[in-house]
Chain A
């Protein structure tokens, strides 16, 4: 029996060996061609000539095969430039894995996470290496709205002093509404430029017999997070950014009447069976990645879908940006005169185990080329606030437009649930929104979440 199994294993090895993917050492874009900033790569290579043969471990949130391949295409250039052997890994439960590795003393060199709250925990435990004030200055000088981005990567260390621990990389714009230009043209709808127009459009769609919105908030252990994005976007459009900041840090309580009012505004949409495809009962059970499919059905199940820029990778295969789908910026209230607020988020690169290779890698990510490679990847959802990165290399006009939104916002704020501490931002806020969608009142939910804030220690 043992022998049989062994033979089987060896046979399988031979079979699969033949079909095995030989990892390509070829770079995604040949050096010297295209509108890339190759000189930055040259400068980087010249400055790091004594690192060959070292190893660098990276833990990233990009566990999806497509994302992982695009991420690999970026660090291949780093490998080629320095001769360092890079080992990058990820998994669906990447936050849990990061916690385990740091707690157990086997952290990766580079840790990239989209949750500042979690990184703040690690920084307070002393698990991260500060990047230094030069990095902070660099971000302020080289990113659009640099001071805000630098602040995102600043946390309090074990002794309480706030330092620059993270470099933002791969940003996302969240205040987008996706729609089908064909369906709009057929029904005679116009893209709204104010929130009032959007509400009117909603009502028009219902009057015409259709359903305006597709909303799905299911996401396994993170169910509820798309709804938190709605609340954050609405907060920015109802009140000045200072109120938003106070709300995120709990300077004003979560059950402040202003916040409850905003939750009710969301309720006016999501709790109305006529407003949401499938009715309210389907919202909490529909996966966030499945919900936009309603834009593409014949006849369409919905006409509008509010979601961040990454959602395009969930659209059906073969659909083309600009033709089959497009987006417009979620507009502000004309009557409130609060400018053009944009909600966004980003990933943060930190050093969890210091080494010369890790430092070099952070410097690599500061070069324009490290951004441009991913910007230019086919089907890319990569956006960058790096002012030195050439926007021409974006692989699609849609991406370029989103990038433009990123660079032009009058008010830029980060995803609140990412900024709030873990038990709230990745816990009570999510579950509170699920309860809200399932029938609880806005006041109940707000009280619940405030209670969670109070229970924090």
Chain B
């Protein structure tokens, strides 16, 4: 095993070295091959400068582009192709899979659930993350508090699934409750509820799990952004007599508005893809189905790559509004760039 440890160390050095060599080497070659200096005719130097500036971005981008093309773009095209084929991927069936989806009740149920997730989870995660970040920055034990709130992100999904199973567990009314939510409910005097089987409530309870995890993410990023607000601005406002709440809304939020948007966007996209939680807790039963889980069911359990792929494409199209919004923001930012 020591051998394996050394092997790992060696590979790290090698792998990192390869990439370092690429980045430094490529840029160095560019600079040498298209060198321009004061002794050249001005036009030539100018041309070479331009050429260097035009080529260099591609050097920077190349590795990332290749990775993304091979591992993400190609599968998307492949998925789109499969969505036009039959169950085993052998016969072309055109838009049949999509028309099937439009007429499938489970598909709409899943889509509506996803909508619910999209409205609730990113908003609440961002709000809680911001709140906790603001609060934690003001107390001496804020670092510890932030670490504890961040811990759910560090627990694997398997661990999270076990934790929440035990929170929502249900036993018959005459048996001792092992789930903390039902223990609380019975302590209040009400009968225990089979939470994962109550429609609407179960989806909300599942959303709680993702909020629990993602708030840590939002908190970390927003906390950093808050640190970036100049102290003088806040001091000045305080001197002018503004209350903390007013400062929060009129100064802090506008200053970090960009980051809030980034956080919200990222969590939205994560929520679109939510799969593990629903799979582990209810597997989509009792109206908790979501698109990613449905896609998984069709592709891997039923072995129907056509339908599974169609659902996947629909899922990815759902990100269009987010993309359009981001484009607008970039264009606006471009103006000042």
**A interface, CB within 8 angstroms of B:** 2, 6, 9-10, 12-14, 16-17, 20, 95-96, 99-100, 118, 121, 124-125, 220-221, 223, 277-279, 281-282, 284-285, 301, 422-423, 426-427, 431, 434, 438, 457
Contact = CB atoms under 8 A, between A and B. Distances in A.
B181 interface: no
6 contacts: A6-B9, A9-B8, A96-B301, A285-B170, A423-B304, A434-B286
B1 interface: yes
A17 B2 contact: yes
Contacts, number: 83
Contacts of B279: 220-221
Contacts of A16: 1
Given A9-B5, A10-B5, A279 B173 contact: yes
B319 interface: no
Nearest to B87: A457
Nearest to A12: B5
B9 A9 contact: yes
A278 B303 contact: no
A93 B155 CA distance: 20
Contacts of A284: 194, 197, 285
Contacts of A277: 172
A2 B303 CA distance: 44
Interface in B282-296: 283, 285-286
By Cβ-Cβ distance, the 7 closest A-B pairs, closest first, are A278-B172, A13-B5, A423-B302, A17-B1, A96-B300, A281-B194, A10-B5
Contacts of B9: 6, 9-10
Q: Is the interface of A mostly helix, strand, loop or mixed?
A: helix
Given A278-B172, A282-B194, A20 B285 contact: no
Interface in B29-48: none
Contacts of A17: 1-2
B303 A422 contact: yes
A223 B86 contact: no
A99 B197 CA distance: 31
A438 B285 CA distance: 10
Given A423-B302, A427-B301, A457-B87, A14 B196 contact: no
Interface in B252-305: 279-280, 283, 285-286, 297, 300-304
B316 interface: no
B302 A457 contact: no
Contacts of B1: 13-14, 16-17, 20
Nearest to B194: A281
Interface in B1-55: 1-2, 4-6, 8-9, 12
Contacts of B2: 10, 13-14, 17
A34 B170 CA distance: 49
Interface in B173-194: 173, 175, 194
Nearest to A428: B302
A103 to B, nearest CB: 8
Contacts of A124: 88
Nearest to B299: A99
Nearest to B193: A281
Contact of B301 (A282, A301, A422): A422
Contacts of B329: none
A2 B16 CA distance: 12
A282 B300 contact: no
A223 B285 contact: yes
A301 B173 CA distance: 13
B172 A457 contact: no
B227 interface: no
B205 interface: no
A285 B4 contact: no
Contacts of B204: none
A434 B285 contact: yes
B238 interface: no
B169 interface: yes
B170 A281 contact: yes
B56 interface: no
B331 interface: no
Contacts of A95: 300-301
Contact of B197 (A278, A285, A426, A427): A285
A220 B280 contact: yes
B301 A438 contact: no
Contact of B170 (A282, A301, A438): A282
Tell which of B86, B175, B303 has the most Cβ of chain A within 10 Å: B303
B285 A427 contact: no
Contacts of B297: 427
Contacts of B300: 95-96, 99-100
A427 B304 CA distance: 12
B170 A223 contact: no
A221 B284 CA distance: 9
Contacts of B170: 281-282, 285
Nearest to A6: B9
